[in-house]
Every structure is written in C-alpha cells, then in structure tokens.
C-alpha cells in the first residue's frame, strides 16, 4: 500500500518542514539488544541507512566495554566503514575522556555526551550525580570543541523517571542550561521512559525557552512505550523543533530503565512527515527493506508498524 498523495495544508496543521532526522538505530538501538551483533552487520546497517537517504546517523559509542559489551567493537565498526563512518553527520557517543580519546584517534569529528536530568538516573546510568556528570562532561566537550568537533548533548529522563516519578520542567531546563553552557551545539531532550504527552512537550519547550534555549538548539527523542512518540514528535515540530531522533525499525530502548521500550521508529516518522509534505530525503522502501533485514539478523519482528505493514507478503 502506498501513502495517499494528498496535498498537505501545512498552514492548517502548523506543521512545516524541513525536519532533520537524527538516526539512532545503529547506536541506541543495537546497544540495547540482547543479541551480540557482529561489527560487520553493524557497519552494513549504517551503509544501508546511508543508501536509504538518512543523512545524520549516530554510528556507535565509545563507552567502556565493561558497561555495554554490545559496543566493545566501536573501533572496528568505524574502521569497517572507512570515510562513510566519519564526518559531522556521523556522531558517536563519547561518555568520558577515555571514549573521546578513542574516537578522536580514529578521526571522528562529531561526538555526543549523554546526561541525566535526574539524580537517580545519573546514579544508575553513570554511577554519578548531576553535578558529577557535568564535571565529567566539561573536559569532553572542551577538548572535542578544541579538536573542531561538533558536539551533541543528550539529556535523558526529561519527562519522567522510573524511580523519581515526575520530573519538574524547571529542573529539566536548568540541567539543560548547564549542558548548553558547556558548549554543546545541539541538545537532545529525551523522554527515556516514554510517558510524555503533547501538552507536556510544549511545557518542556517553554521551560527551555525561559532558560534561553531556543528550538533551533533543540532535538527531541521520544520512546514509544505508551504509544505517544509520534504525536509528541509532531507536537515538537509544530512548535519549531527541527531535529527529531528516531530509530530504524524502532530498534532500541534502555536496559537500565524498566518499561523503556523502543525508540520512535524512523519509518513511522517518515510516513507522517511525507504525508504532511515535509521533505526528509529518505527513500522509505529502502529504509523498510533495511529494517526488515536487520530484524531478520536479530531473529525477531520489527517494532515499526510501517515496516510490519510494508514487509508483509503481498
């Protein structure tokens, strides 16, 4: 089935382009799989994503293999990709200076750090505090910028925390402000456990704005745990956000947060954006084929509804 070619009325919906998709499946997605995926399969996933028209692809993470064994092959993946794995459109996660050193040694020029808006998750994920993570990130961001790299800051648990419950928007904004003050070029606001709703999205964006962080600096990162990810992403776009994180085939989640199931599926986002006349540059049928292939490698069905619908036998 093809998506109907209805002329969209952007003025009527408030939704207008362009939107940049920040593809997280290769890193955020695969790091949460139980299966250990071979480095060559990871590299092939990135190659296929590039071929499907995704411009910005987070490739891997230079986290300690003791923390996330799934990512112990970061060097190998980058090396297998060659030039295709480098450049400003191929960020990698560098949680600390050791990770940054490893990334820079390979010629990486785009990095991301991953912080928490809440104390409990800073403890669970980084064995640190909110202050402690800022102290850890400061030299990473400074040295990355000195090396000419582009830097993204992820902020997780911005809409709720499985241990703390509610997370006040003012708190989110003040931790976000500290990340921006460190010098990050882009701030990705994450609903790590997927509990947010569109009104909440607007409140968070307002709180960020009140701290001087405009939508031009903000990306959004929603999980579909409660089925809200697409509606929340569209709400953010409606309010001016122009970078949306998503994961091919809905790969991923968070192993340290209960009930944190998959990311927003890139295919479901692309379906919506195309229907709204918002250009993404993505070839949906190639992307669906990629996610169907990846699901086969993982031995399970894709979490993306578009992938399931379009890869059914005709």
For a copy of itself, which residue of 40, 101, 131, 166 counts as binding (CB under 8 A)?
166
User: Which residues are the active-site residues?
Assistant: 254
Interacting positions 1-20 with a copy of itself (CB under 8 A): 1-10, 12-15
Told to check if 305 binds a copy of itself by CB under 8 A, we report yes
Check: CB of residue 276 under 8 Å from CB of residue 13. yes
Name which position in 194, 249, 252, 253 contacts a copy of itself (CB under 8 A): 194
Decide: is 21 part of the binding site for a copy of itself (CB under 8 A).
Answer: no
By CB under 8 A, name the one of 254, 276, 287, 294 that touches a copy of itself: 276
Contacts of 126 (CB under 8 A, 6+ apart): 95, 115, 116, 132, 133, 136
Q: Binding to a copy of itself by residue 114, rule CB under 8 A?
A: no
The CB-of-157 to a copy of itself minimum distance in angstroms stands at 11
Site for a copy of itself in 54-113 (CB under 8 A): none
CB 193 within 8 A of CB 166: no
Torsion of CA 257, 260, 110, 220, to 10 degrees: -120
Nearest distance from C-beta of residue 145 to a copy of itself, angstroms: 34
**Rule CB under 8 A: is residue 119 a binding residue for a copy of itself?**
no
170 binds a copy of itself (CB under 8 A): no
Please, which residue, 92 or 195, has the CB nearer to a copy of itself? Answer: 195
Query: Cα angle at 191 between 108 and 226, to 5 degrees?
Result: 130
Residue 197 found at the interface with a copy of itself (CB under 8 A): yes
Total residue count of the chain as it appears in this document: 314
186 preceded by a cis bond (ω within 30 of 0): no
Binding site for a copy of itself (CB under 8 A): 1-10, 12-15, 159-160, 162, 165-167, 169, 193-200, 202-203, 206, 224-228, 230-231, 234-235, 239, 258-259, 261, 265, 268, 271-272, 274-277, 304-306, 308-309, 312
């Amino acid at each position: 089935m093809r998506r109907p070619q209805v002329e969209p009325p952007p003025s009527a919906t408030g939704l207008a382009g362009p939107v940049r998709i920040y593809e997280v499946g290769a890193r955020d997605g695969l790091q949460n799989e139980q299966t250990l995926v071979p480095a060559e399969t990871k590299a092939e996933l990135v190659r296929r994503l590039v071929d499907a028209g995704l411009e910005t692809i987070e490739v891997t993470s230079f986290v300690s293999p003791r923390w996330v064994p799934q990512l112990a092959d970061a060097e190998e993946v980058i090396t297998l990709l060659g030039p295709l794995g480098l450049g400003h459109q191929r960020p990698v996660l560098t949680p600390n200076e050791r990770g940054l050193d490893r990334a820079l040694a390979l010629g990486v020029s785009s990095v991301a750090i991953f912080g928490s808006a809440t104390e409990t998750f800073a403890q669970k994920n980084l064995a640190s505090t909110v202050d402690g993570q800022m102290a850890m990130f400061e030299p990473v961001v400074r040295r990355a910028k000195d090396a000419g790299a582009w830097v993204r800051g992820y902020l997780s648990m911005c809409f709720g925390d499985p241990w703390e419950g509610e997370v006040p928007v003012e708190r989110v904004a003040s931790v976000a402000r500290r990340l921006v003050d460190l010098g990050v070029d882009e701030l990705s606001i994450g609903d790590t456990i997927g509990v947010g709703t569109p009104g909440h999205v607007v409140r968070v964006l307002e709180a960020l704005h009140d701290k001087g962080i405009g939508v031009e600096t903000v990306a959004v990162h929603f999980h579909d745990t409660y089925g809200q990810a697409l509606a929340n992403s569209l709400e953010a776009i409606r309010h001016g956000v122009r970078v949306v994180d998503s994961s091919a085939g809905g790969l991923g989640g968070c192993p340290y947060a209960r009930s944190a199931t998959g990311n927003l599926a890139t295919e479901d986002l692309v379906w919506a954006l195309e229907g709204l006349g918002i250009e993404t540059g993505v070839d949906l049928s190639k992307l669906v084929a990629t996610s169907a292939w990846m699901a086969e490698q993982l031995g399970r069905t894709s979490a993306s509804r578009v992938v399931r619908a379009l890869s059914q036998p005709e």
